Amino acid sequence: MFFAFARKIWIKRDDCTGLSTGGNKTRKLEFLMAEAQAEGADMVMTQGATQSNHARQTAAFAAKLGMDCHLLLEDRTGSKDANYNHNGNVFLDHLHGATAEMRGPGLDMNAEMENVAADLRKTGRKVYTIVGGGSNPTGALGYVDCAFELLNQANQRGLVIDHLVHATGSAGTQAGLVVGLRAMNANIPLLGIGVRAPKEKQEENVYNLAVKTAEKLGCPGVVSRGDVVANCDYVGEGYGIPTPGGIEAINLFARLEAVLLDPVYSGKGAAGLIDLVRKGQFKKGERVVFLHTGGSASLFSYTTAFEFGETSSPQTTK
- Say whether 52 is catalytic: yes
Of 20, 52, 170, 266, which is the active-site residue? 52
Q: Compose the 214-253 pattern: x for residues touching ligand PLP by CB under 6 A, - for all others.
A: ----------------------------------------
| Number of residues counted as binding ligand PLP (CB under 6 A) | 21
**Within 10 Å of residue 42's Cβ, how many Cβ atoms?**
15
- Does residue 298 contact residue 53 with C-beta atoms inside 8 Å? yes
Based on the shown chain and the rule CB under 6 A, indicate whether residue 202 belongs to the binding site for ligand PLP. no
Out of 17, 20, 21, 24, point to the residue binding ligand PLP (CB under 6 A): 24
Euclidean distance between CA atoms 15 and 132, whole angstroms? 19
Question: Packing angle between helix 88-95 and helix 53-65, nearest 10 degrees?
Answer: 10
53 is an interface residue for ligand PLP by CB under 6 A: yes
- Among residues 84, 294, 300, 305, which is the contact residue for ligand PLP, using CB under 6 A? 294
Which strand (E) or helix (H) includes residue 179? helix 172-183
Question: Which phi-psi region, left, alpha or beta, contains residue 223 (left: φ > 0; alpha: ψ -120 to 50)?
Answer: beta
Distance CA 280, CA 243 (A): 22
**Which CB, 47 or 173, lies closer to ligand PLP?**
173
For ligand PLP, which is the closer residue by CB, 166 or 182? 166
Q: Does 22 bind ligand PLP (CB under 6 A)?
A: no
User: Whose Cβ is closer to ligand PLP: residue 242's or residue 294's?
Assistant: 294
Give the shortest CB-28-to-ligand PLP separation in angstroms.
7
Return the residue of 265, 282, 300, 302 that touches ligand PLP, per CB under 6 A: 265
Within 13 A of 134's CA, how many CA atoms are on the CB side? 33
Strand order in 127-130's β-sheet? Answer: 99-103, 68-74, 43-49, 127-130
**Contacting positions for ligand PLP (CB under 6 A):** 23-25, 53-54, 133, 135, 167-174, 262, 265-266, 293-295
Active site members: 52
